[in-house]
Structure formats: C-alpha cells, structure tokens
Amino acid sequence: MLIRAIPVGPLQVNCFIVACSKTRDAMVVDPGDEGQKILDILRKEKLQLKIVVNTHGHFDHIGANRLLVEETNAELLIHEKDVPLMGQAAQHAALYGLTTTPSPEPTRTLAGGDRFKVGELEVTVIHTPGHSAGGICLLVGDHLFSGDSLFAGSVGRTDLPGGDHSALIDGVKKRLMVLPEDTVVHPGHGPDTTIGEEQRSNPFVGND
C-alpha cells in the first residue's frame, strides 16, 4: 500500500492518496482544495484514480471533488447522511469568509460496514457520526483514515450543524478504540497517531 498525505487549503486539511502498490489503482480521501496539486502527484506517481471518498461533507474536505472527478472519471463516495451537508458547502464556507467549488453529486453513497476495493486493497467503512451525521472513517489494513472524528489527543468539534457530542464519543469508543493498538491513525487535520496512543492519552476517549 502506498500512502501520501497532502495538506491542502486554508484550513490545512489532510488529503490522502491511498494506492495499491501492485495495480497502481488509487483513491483520494478528502480532497479539500488544490485539486491540480493532487492530480500532479497522481500523474507523477503513475497512479490511476478510481475513487474519491469524503469522510464527511464539510466544505474544507470536498473543494477539489469536482476537478478530480471531471479529470479522471473517478467514482465519488460519501455517507448517505452527509449528501445534504455537501450541498450546503458554499454557504458554510462563506461563514468563514472563504469560498469553495460545489461538488458533483456522489456516484453512490456509503453506510457503516460497507466494503469496497481499490486495486487489491479492501476498504471498510466505519460510521462515526457526531462531527456530522454522516461522518465516516476508512480502515485499510492497519491504517485508519479518521476524518474529523478522531485526532491526535482530541476528537472532532460537535458544535456545527448535525453535530452530536455524545454520539461522537460513543462511536469513537465503541468502533475505533477497539481496533488493534498498532493501527496507524491518519486524521483529517494534524499529525498521525495510533489507536494505542489514543487509548492511553486521549482525554476524550482514552481508557478511564
């Protein structure tokens, strides 16, 4: 598996390129902005973009959806409950004095427990609502792409539309903290961590 992190946009979202080293098929997780930079890296690495996945529908995670989908004909996937949120991205960006490019409609929607393939890699969808109603994480082998559900030492904010603090804490504890300790966590913002580190030290969801 090949993993490339690319911080993009004014809010420095971690966009991830995840590719099968054998087939060179790739998915892009949370292309929030700077779509041309993402495309250039894909081409330089000789990767074929097959799937774009949004861990949730907030504007800072979807701004390059349209460019990537139009340039590559990749599928666009998001949890069914965040499709409305994705459609409101421009209004949400304006609240921060920012703009974003409207996303096309998803090719298909996801639900917790779904699985799909990227080359020979199997991706499992874990629904962790709370930051948004349709927030998801993606588990690929021993790597977890946690969006804005789980950060190093913290969790996602829940004071935005669709937020639910108790649901987020419950989902992270029951669905993420039970993963193997050596699972590498790639959050939507900030540095990587591991499940073990968060079990030990995260004040929101760590061991009591």
For the stretch 39-84, pLDDT in tens is: 999 999 999 999 999 999 999 999 999 999 999 999 999 999 999 9
pLDDT band at residue 207, thresholds of 50, 70 and 90?
Answer: confident
Half-sphere exposure of 167 (CA within 13 A, CB side): 16
Amino acid letter at 79?
Answer: H
pLDDT band at residue 160, thresholds of 50, 70 and 90?
Answer: confident
Strands 150-151 and 154-155: antiparallel
Give me the phi and psi of 132, to 5 degrees please: -150, 165
Residue 181 has pLDDT above 90, yes or no: yes
Backbone CA torsion sign across 153, 86, 115, 73: negative
The residues spanned by each domain of the chain are 2-201
Amino acid letter at 121?
Answer: L
Residue 151 has pLDDT above 70, yes or no: yes
Residue 77: predicted pLDDT? 98
Residue 208: predicted pLDDT? 59
Residue 162: predicted pLDDT? 81
Q: What is the rounded distance in angstroms from the CA atom of residue 207 to the CA atom of residue 205?
A: 7
Q: What is the rounded distance in angstroms from the CA atom of residue 6 to the CA atom of residue 12?
A: 9
Q: Residue 161 in 3-state DSSP? A: coil
Asked whether 26 and 65 are in contact (CB, 8 A), the reply is: no
Question: For the domain 2-201, what is the CATH superfamily, name and number?
Answer: Ribonuclease Z/Hydroxyacylglutathione hydrolase-like (3.60.15.10)
166 by Cβ neighbours in 10 Å (0-12 / 13-18 / 19+) ranks as exposed
- How many CB atoms sit inside 10 A of residue 207's CB? 10
pLDDT band at residue 144, thresholds of 50, 70 and 90?
Answer: very high
Residue 206 has pLDDT above 90, yes or no: no
pLDDT band at residue 22, thresholds of 50, 70 and 90?
Answer: very high
- Calculate what percentage of the chain has a pLDDT beyond 70: 100
